Amino acid sequence: MGSRARVALVGANGHGLWHRRHVAAREDRVELVALCDPAPIAEPADAPVPATARRFTDHREMLATVSPDIVIICTPPHTHVPIATDALRAGCDVLLEKPPVLSVAEHHALATVLAETGRAVQVGFQALGSRALAMLIEAIQAGTLGSVTGVAAVASWQRSDAYYARAAWAGRRTVDGRPTLDGALVNPLAHAVMQALVVAHAASNGTGDPAIRSVELERYRTRPIEVEDTASLRCALADGPPVAVAVSLCGEEFIPGEIIVHGTDGRAVLEYPTDRLALPGEGEPTAIPGRVSLLDNLLDHRVDRVTPLLAPLRRTLPFTTLVDAITAAPPPTPIAAEWTVEYGTAPERYLRIPGVNEALRRCGERMGLLSEQGVPWASAPYRCEL
């Protein structure tokens, strides 16, 4: 495998442009040989299509024609399993955008194909390549925080009308009878959920069972959508401390995303989108350089199969278990207009929930749910044993 790896991208528009730029920056290691998208392929100045790259509208024709080494899949979540299955059976390794699958049954089905083919699947939870995350895990396992009593994730983002008009599956629970679950927990803030689960597993020295045993879940919506734009959850793991997540796409000031680790000897905070970390006694978080690209990691893994994948499919099973709980939960509770503030004009119109950031932060500090923070629009949580 000394020559450049042949890469094909399925889903060349939208977030696929990010992957195109990422591939272009690694032309010494990879060659983009094909792009596949049912829509005309955009060609912005910072993401040109190489003259040698073939264009397709059907991934099966692409696989049969160009025989790539790696297929990057950046398509709607409900299409991931069939495309990834076809790519694996064509002899390709796969970089699969998050969420990788939308049920535990899909996870097991794809894992079976993975075992049959002997190929590799790296899932696009890119924050798992963070050196700051690695340092946090090292500190936890060295006992710097004492015993970890809980891991929380807090994030407050904003999304406009345009966000919910970006695709036919945007804000939808299902499309054509298949789950899509395009809500805050499963799509835009999935990284917060995944980071929290990984950190909690690390608190058992990475040797415990990361399986989720029970879930308490609250989901809310401010718009006429089928999924949540604001949510909180708390779950118990088979081994390791509890995990709490509190997020909103209707926030006030921006909270990029914080993983808060509570310990008997102090607390640590990882701002996962920026790789900023504060360990006990350090005050403000400090940027920790050195994030590893998931594509680079996959390329290294292809060379020797000894280099471990940072985000293999099996590592995402606890996340997908939560997805199953979200699927089984009742529809999100509407938040009445009296509790929201509208600003901007369409398509850049936003809804804000006054006081939501304070409530999210209390959830993070107390390992709590929104209904436990005294907000007037909250409802009782959905509870399930797994």
Q: How far apart are CA 349 and CA 342, in angstroms?
A: 7
Mean pLDDT of 241-248: 98
Q: Give pLDDT tens digits for 46-72.
A: 999 999 999 999 999 999 999 999 999
Location of each CATH 3.40.50.720 domain in the chain: 5-126
Q: How far apart are CA 197 and CA 303, in angstroms?
A: 29
Q: How far apart are CA 62 and CA 78, in angstroms?
A: 20
Q: How far apart are CA 64 and CA 66, in angstroms?
A: 6
What three-state secondary structure class fits 364?
helix
Q: By CB neighbour count within 10 A (0-12 exposed, 13-18 middle, 19+ buried), where does 27 fall?
A: exposed
Residue 3 has a pLDDT of 87
What three-state secondary structure class fits 110?
helix
pLDDT of 2 over the 60 cut: no
Q: Which of 270, 317, 288 is nearest to 152 (CA)?
A: 270
pTM: 0.96
Q: How far apart are CA 323 and CA 181, in angstroms?
A: 8
- Report which residue type is found at 84: A
Location of each CATH 3.30.360.10 domain in the chain: 131-289+313-385
Q: How far apart are CA 201 and CA 347, in angstroms?
A: 41
Q: Give pLDDT tens digits for 306-343.
A: 999 999 999 999 999 999 999 999 999 999 999 999 99
Fold of 5-126: Rossmann fold (3.40.50)
Q: What is the mean pLDDT of the chain?
A: 96
pLDDT of 1 over the 60 cut: no
Mean pLDDT of 167-188: 94
Fold of 131-289+313-385: Dihydrodipicolinate Reductase; domain 2 (3.30.360)
Distances (CA, A) of 80 to 23, 72, 107, 243: 20, 11, 11, 27
Q: Is the peptide bond before 347 cis (omega within 30 degrees of 0)?
A: yes
